[in-house]
Copies of this chain bind each other. A is one copy, B any other.
Amino acid sequence: MSEAFQIKSDPALWESLDMDVERFKAVPPALTEAFTAIFLSQQNRPTGMAYFDDMVSNIFTGRIEEIVAAGQEGRPVVGTFCVYVPEEIIQAANGVCIGLCGGSQGSIADAEKILPRNICPMVKSAFGFKVGRICPFFQAVDFVYGETTCDAKKKTWELLDQYVPTHVMEIPQMKRERDLRLWIEEVKDFKRAIEARVGKEISEHDLKKAIATLNAKREAMQRLNSLRHHDPSPISGRDMLLIQQIAFYDIPERFTAKVNELCDELQERIDQGSFAAAKGTPRLMVSGTPMALPNWKLHNIIEGAGAIVVNEESCIGTRYYKDTIATDGATMDDLLQKLTERYMQIDCSCFTPNDDRIDQVIKEYRESGAQGLIDYTLQFCHTYNIEAVKLREACAREGIPFMAIESDYSPEDVGQLQTRVEAFLEQVQE
């Protein structure tokens, strides 16, 4: 299969999306090369990964065509940057929700023509994609819905609005009753914005159905992550990261079915003793900031060093799917309250205090059977970077080997990170 794999190109489609086609043409071959090296070089992958590989192959073509077709049918196509924006409401309006977080070094220079250099690479990458017209997803959305979860994103949305209509949801900074009240109002605004786009109110039936759809998606991912925690793991950390990244741009129902198929296969592999890495392979958990597609840098370093990643406590990870929504709400207000309460359980470091996250990291560490924790912070992400102080203290109390890494998307620190990861693995195996 690795001979045949190719990330497909469709210049005519990209042209129709007003992309910088000449420039973008270089992206699929480069990404094909990276994907082949990082993913297809792995031994004994589950056969169910074929679907997810195919999603990558079609990332700039087939999936874009589906999204464009949805737009042509009048369905809203909404871009988001954060797991706090409730996709159940987009789903209830029969819309398409696309996670637009940027994980590529290729668009950073575009962003830095406008934005300061010393802000988060994910924010710069996303902004650069739009400014440079080099992301077909960004070009295909009707509008984007940002939020206020960090300084860099909050202020960048003001500038992004000059390129694409950008709504902003205020996410409070604490989790008390008064914050919940404000938050519910924000969710209602979001619902109104989506309804205005489709010219139709979302019914309780629509929302309940959407909640069930997304609950099923999150439950499938919980199941997958739980199977993966088996020692030895039946699937690599790289493959798990990829699936969690694809969760942000695939069709929920289809994705859920494919994740459940993969789960069935992983269960069989466990029963048959077929694993992604041999018994005794060092097991590491990663916590912290999200790794947006195609940011595979740290996982590649860790697994290249002979370890396996067994959990991602991250927005592109467990924060996305650890909680579901109660569907027993009788009225729309009930449903929105329960929905908001579910979103309030997500424990991003933007909240203060945020000790629940520390507890959650320790809990996931225990469940995953990890032997060491690497806390990953995107460069200049102040909230995760400072919260790492408390996480380090908690790990010291719990006797958990801990290492903090701050990095961006550039290849410059790869050698240094390899050295640090190798030293950490020695410490873990002592």
Interface string of A193-236 (1 = CB under 8 A from B): 00000000000000000000000000000000000000000000
Is residue A382 within 8 Å, beta carbon to beta carbon, of the partner chain?
yes
Instruction: Flag if B178 contacts A174 (CB, 8 Å).
Output: no
Map CB proximity to B onto A144-167 as digits: 1 under 8 Å, 0 otherwise.
Answer: 000010111011111100000000
Residue A387 CB within 8 A of the other chain: yes
Given A115-B386, A349-B155, A386-B155: A179 in contact with B173 (beta carbons within 8 A)? no
A131 to chain B, nearest CB (A): 12
CB A182 to nearest CB in B, in angstroms, measures 5
Q: Would A380 and B179 be within 8 Å (CB), given that A155-B387, A352-B158, A389-B159 are in contact?
A: no
CB distance from A395 to the nearest CB of B (A): 15
Does A118 sit within 8 A of B, measured CB to CB? yes
A156, B386: Cβ atoms under 8 Å? yes
- With known contacts A148-B352, A178-B182, A178-B185, A383–B173 Cβ distance under 8 A: no
Q: Which residues in B have their C-beta under 8 angstroms from that of A353? A: 158
Would you call B386 and A352 a contact (CB within 8 A)? no
Contacts of A389 in B (CB 8 A): 114-115, 159
* A119-B386 contact given A185-B178, A352-B148, CB 8 Å threshold: yes
List, sorted by A's number, 20 A–B pairs whose CB atoms are closer than 8 Å.
Answer: A114-B389, A116-B388, A118-B379, A118-B380, A119-B386, A148-B352, A151-B383, A151-B386, A154-B352, A155-B352, A155-B383, A155-B386, A157-B352, A158-B386, A159-B386, A168-B174, A172-B172, A178-B181, A179-B182, A380-B382
User: A61 near B: Cβ within 8 Å?
Assistant: no
Q: Who on chain B is nearest to A377 by CB?
A: B116
Determine if A341 is an interface residue (Cβ-Cβ < 8 Å): no
Chain B residue at minimal CB-CB distance from A385: B116
List, in ascending order, chain B residues with CB within 8 A of A417's CB: none
Query: Are A170 and B179 in touch, CB under 8 angstroms?
Result: yes
| Interface assignment of A265: CB less than 8 Å from any CB of chain B | no
The answer on a CB contact under 8 Å between A383 and B154 is yes
- Expressed in whole angstroms, the Cα–Cα distance for A148 and B176 within the complex equals 15
In the complex, A172→B148 CA distance in Å?
A: 10
**For chain A residues 303-323, which have a beta carbon within 8 Å of chain B?**
none
Is there an interface contact between A382 and B119, defined as CB atoms closer than 8 Å?
yes
Q: Find chain B residues with CB under 8 A from A349 CB.
A: 155
CB distance from A383 to the nearest CB of B (A): 5
A350 in the interface (beta carbon within 8 A): yes
B170 touches A116 (CB 8 A): no
**Is the Cβ of B155 less than 8 Å from the Cβ of A173?**
no
Cβ proximity bits A340-365 to B, threshold 8 Å, 1 near / 0 not: 00000000011011100000000000
Identify A382's interface contact among B148, B155, B182, CB under 8 A.
B155
A406, CB-defined interface residue at 8 Å: yes
With a cutoff of 8 Å between Cβ atoms, the chain B residues found around residue A182 in the complex are 172, 178-179, 181-182
A115 CA to B382 CA, complexed, in Å:
10
A390 in contact (CB, < 8 A): yes
Closest to A388 in B: B116
Instruction: Report how far A150 CA is from B390 CA in the complex, Å.
Output: 19
CB <8 Å contact, B185 and A152 = no
Which residues of chain B are near A388, meaning CB under 8 Å? 116
How far apart are the CA atoms of A353 and B179 in the complex, in Å?
Answer: 20
Which residues of chain B are near A116, meaning CB under 8 Å? 382, 385-386, 388, 406
